[in-house]
Amino acid sequence: MGHDSAAVQRRISTLLGKVRVVRVLDPVLVSMAPDCPSIGLPAPAGSMTSCPANRISWPDSQFRPLKAPAQKVRPTPRIGIFIKGGDFMRSPEFMRPMDIDQYLSQRQASLDRGTDRIRNFEVFDFNYVPEKPLMREEVKPVIDALLRYQQTGIANNVLILGSRGSGKSVFARYLMKVMCQEGQPAFAYANCRQHNTSVKILAAILGLRPRGCSLDELWQRFEDAHNGRVVFVLDEVDLISEKDKYKDILYLISRSARNYMAILLSNNPKFLNLLDESIQSTLQPEIVHFRNYDATEIEQILRERARIGLKTTPSGLLSAVSALTAKKTHSDVRVAIKTLYLWALEPQTAITEHFEKARRDIMFDVVRDLNDRNLLILKAVLEQPEGFAKAVYERYRRASVQVHEEPVSYMHFYSSLSYLQSLGLVLLISTKVHRTYTNRIQLTFDPSILRTLWASRFG
């Protein structure tokens, strides 16, 4: 054998001393191919290097036998010989591909171990109402308005504004739970994401099918059934369809002779400006802003849910999740709750991976629920690299015409931008251009989510 082959053999022998070899469950032909990426040596002429998955053997005749060390220890295995099954453990590079049944069994066993760590699954449901929600200054005006209505019967309508995940819905459902007693006002709750027209809202409250009933007929039925004090709680009221242009349900509530009260929850800070003047003049809601949670408040929420829902919680986990949520998600506490849930199922996975998965899943749901206009605006932001507001608006107008949608005015375009920013989907950055300031618009989520949903909706 030539000098080059001897040099190759010495290099491989050195590398074999550094390679971590593990137990093989069945006899396999050891194959450290010299041209594989993990070793990076040129293969000698005549060597067999066509076997996939690094299962490559060289003929033993290509090399001199390796000499055993002087001490009485097991010699370094030679290239191209069979190794007994009990001598080594299987390395990932020697494992056969896992089939579907094996993967299913493995994942099922892993999830079974994870569910053993969870005491109560309900606390990880976004519809869960905690025993004692976090007390905040913002809730006081809403409670005061309800108590005044309970005592006087004079409606004091309230509009609660805040970003997604700021606790608006949980607080409203908690108040309904503790105040829904005899002698107190009745509550009529509807989520406008699920029931997005006035007819559908009333039909859902009455427990009827919306088809075949007019709005006037449904309203008359409601008034006949509720002579006393009623508080309408309309969650995500900004998602009432554009087809319901005048938001008739709000007009009926504000003009009713029964003095019904309304608590409206919205992510859109410009929602009130979008209402008809006749509704604004009679509704006249008290506006309450729910600020974003800070990291300390998020940790308090997680600690309470972990106390009820988990058997054990490692030190530092909750503070790490809280810090990530406050920094990267517009303080959306739903991301924190889902991250904690994913960790409980698979604690061996890094918490940052769980966090990114939770954020992506929730962001996907948020973008999917947008109407066509807001989706068109996001698409225009994506396709306008510089992101200046006027250029994005012009691209939005052209995109609207292409999909046969009527573009809105520049004022309503900016209102939509404020709404998208409150959802944490875009960021408006004031930038000086020459002597004036303008806004640059940046997406704050993975653009692949937008591309996927765009393709499914517009093709």
CB–CB of 199/302 below 8 Å? no
Conformational region of residue 229, where left means phi above 0, alpha means psi within -120 to 50, and beta covers everything else: beta
For 339-350, the pLDDT digits (tens) are: 999 999 999 999
User: What residues make up the domain containing 443?
Assistant: 370-458
| Confidence at residue 70, expressed as pLDDT on a 0 to 100 scale | 54
Picking from 440, 398, 444, the residue whose alpha carbon sits closest to that of residue 422 is 444
The residue among 109 and 331 whose pLDDT is bigger is 331
Considering 303, 338, 367, which residue would you say is the last residue of a domain?
367
Query: What is residue 240's predicted lDDT score, i.e. its pLDDT?
Result: 93
Kindly report, residue by residue over 138-147, the tens digit of the pLDDT: 999 999 999 9
Span 291-306, average pLDDT: 96
Could you tell me if 258 and 379 lie in one domain? no
Residue 367 pLDDT > 90: yes
Quick check: 217 pLDDT over 50? yes
- Please tell me whether residues 51 and 179 are part of one structural domain: no
| Whole-number Cα distances in Å, 426 to 191, 213, 389, 444, 455 | 24, 40, 12, 5, 20
Tokens coding 47: 């060597």
Q: Are 221 and 143 members of one domain?
A: yes
172 and 275 together in one domain: yes
**Mean pLDDT along residues 283-308:** 95
Cα 84 to Cα 23, 30, 88: the distances in Å are 10, 11, 8
Q: Are residues 165 and 256 in the same domain?
A: yes
Burial state string for 43-76 with b = 16 or more CB within 10 A and e = fewer than 16: bbeebeeeeeebebbbeeebbeebeeeeeeeeee
Work out whether the CA dihedral 359, 364, 367, 370 comes out positive or negative: negative
CATH at 143: 3.40.50.300
In sequence order, the β-bridge partners of residue 186 are: 230
Question: Which one has a higher pLDDT value, 242 or 98?
Answer: 242
pTM: 0.73
Tell whether 129 is covered by a domain.
Answer: no
Q: Which of 397, 422, 425 is nearest to 410 (CA)?
A: 397
CA distance linking residue 371 with residue 379, whole number of Å: 13
246 and 358 in a single domain? The answer is no
Confidence band (pLDDT; 50, 70, 90) for 109? confident
- Note whether 151 and 266 are same-domain residues: yes
pLDDT in tens, 254-285: 999 999 999 999 999 989 988 989 899 999 99
pLDDT for position 152: 94
Q: Which amino acid is at 157?
A: N
Same domain, 419 and 437: yes
Give the number of domains in the chain.
Answer: 4
Lowest mean pLDDT among 106-115, 166-175, 362-371: 106-115
| 143 and 286 both lie in a single domain | yes
344: amino acid identity, one letter: A
Q: Categorize the per-residue pLDDT at 136 as very low, low, confident or very high, splitting at 50, 70 and 90.
A: very high
Amino acid at 129: V
| CB distance 321 to 332 below 8 Å | no
Domain contains 111: no
Same domain, 156 and 279: yes
Average pLDDT of the residues in 58-79: 50
Looking at per-residue pLDDT, the higher value among 292 and 68 belongs to: 292
Confirm whether 133 is domain-assigned: no
Asked which of 290, 321, 345 is the last residue of a domain, the reply is 290
**84 occurs within a structural domain:** yes
Pick the range with the lowest mean pLDDT from 176-180, 197-201, 398-402: 176-180
Within a domain: 109: no
Whose tokens are 């609660």? That residue is 160
- Identify whether 113 is part of a domain: no
Q: Of 275, 290, 305, which residue is a domain's last?
A: 290
Q: Does residue 143 sit within a domain? A: yes
- CA distances from residue 240 to 10, 169, 308, 316, 371 in whole angstroms, order as listed: 75, 16, 36, 42, 10
Question: Could you tell me which residues come within 8 angstroms of residue 190 by beta carbon, excluding any fewer than 6 positions away?
Answer: 201, 204, 205, 232, 233, 234, 235
Asked if residue 218 belongs to a domain, the reply is yes
pLDDT digits (tens, 9 = 90+) for 25-38: 443 334 444 444 44
pLDDT digit string, tens, across residues 309-355: 999 999 899 999 999 999 999 899 999 999 999 999 999 999 999 99
pLDDT at 44 exceeding the cut of 90:
no
Are residues 307 and 427 both part of a single domain?
A: no
3-state secondary structure the chain: CCHHHHHHHHHHHHHHHHCCCCECCCCCECCCCCCCCCCCCCCCCCCCCCCCCCCCCCCHHHCCCCCCCCCCCCCCCCCCCECCCCCCECCHHHCCCCCHHHHHHHHHHHHHHHHCCECCHHHHCCCCCCCCCCCCCCHHHHHHHHHHHHHHCCCCCEEEEECCCCCHHHHHHHHHHHHCCCCCCEEEEEECCCCCCHHHHHHHHHCCCCCCCCHHHHHHHHHHHCCCCEEEEEECHHHCCCCCCCCHHHHHHHHCCCCCEEEEEECCCCCHHHCCHHHHHHHCCEEEEECCCCHHHHHHHHHHHHHHHECCCCCCHHHHHHHHHHHHCCCCHHHHHHHHHHHHHCCCCCHHHHHHHHHHHHHHHHHHCCCHHHHHHHHHHHHCCCCEHHHHHHHHHHHHHHCCCCCCCHHHHHHHHHHHHHCCCEEEEEEEECCEEEEEEEECCCHHHHHHHHHHHHC
Q: What is the dihedral of CA 31, 32, 37, 41, to 10 degrees?
A: -130
Identify whether residues 354 and 388 lie together within a single domain.
no
